[in-house]
Amino acid sequence: MAKQRVLTGITTTGTPHLGNYVGAIRPAIAESQRGEFDAFFFLADYHALIKSHDPAMVHQSSREIAATWLALGLDTDTTTFYRQSDVPEITELSWILTCVCAKGLMNRSHAYKAAVQANEQSGEDPDFGVTMGLFSYPILMAADILMFNAKKVPVGRDQIQHIEMARDMAQRFNHLYGDTFVLPEAVIADDVAVLSGLDGRKMSKSYGNTIPLFLPEKKLQKHINKIKTNLLEPGEAKDPADSTVFEIWQAFATPEQTAEMRQKFADGIAWGQAKKDLFELINSQLAPARERYEAILNDGEYLESELKKGAEKARAQAAIMLAKVRKAVGLAAFK
Ligand code: TRP
CATH number at residue 135: 3.40.50.620
pLDDT at 156: 87
Q: Output the domain CATH number for residue 269.
A: 1.10.240.10
> Counting Cβ atoms within 10 Å, is residue 318 exposed (0-12), middle (13-18) or buried (19+)?
buried
Q: Both 55 and 99 in a single domain? A: yes
Query: Does 192 have pLDDT greater than 90?
Result: no
pLDDT at 298: 95
Q: What is the pTM of this model?
A: 0.94
* Distance from residue 8's CA to the centre of ligand 1 (Å): 6
Residue among 25, 41, 47 whose CB has most ligand 1 atoms within 8 A, to mutate: 47
Residue numbers of the domain that contains 242 = 214-295
Whether ligand 1 lies within 6 angstroms of the CB of 79 is answered as no
Which residue lies with its CA nearest to atom 4 of ligand 1?
Answer: 11
Q: Based on the structure, what is the number of domains in the chain?
A: 2
Q: Both 73 and 136 in a single domain? A: yes
pLDDT at 105: 97
Query: Does 272 have pLDDT greater than 90?
Result: yes
Query: Does 44 have pLDDT greater than 80?
Result: yes
Question: Length of the chain in residues, anyone?
Answer: 335
The model's pLDDT over 148-189, given as tens digits with 9 standing for 90+, comes to 999 999 998 889 999 999 999 999 999 999 999 999 999 998
Whether ligand 1 lies within 6 angstroms of the CB of 145 is answered as yes
Whether ligand 1 lies within 6 angstroms of the CB of 170 is answered as no
Which residue lies with its CA nearest to atom 14 of ligand 1?
Answer: 8
In a domain? residue 250: yes
In a domain? residue 68: yes
The model's pLDDT over 92-141, given as tens digits with 9 standing for 90+, comes to 999 999 999 999 999 999 999 999 999 999 999 999 999 999 999 999 99
Closest approach atom of ligand 1 to CA 141: 9
Reported as a pLDDT band with limits 50, 70 and 90, residue 1 is confident
- For 102-113, letters b (16+ CB in 10 Å) and e give eeeebeebebbe
Yes or no: say if 23 and 157 are a contact pair by the CB < 8 Å rule.
no
In a domain? residue 334: no
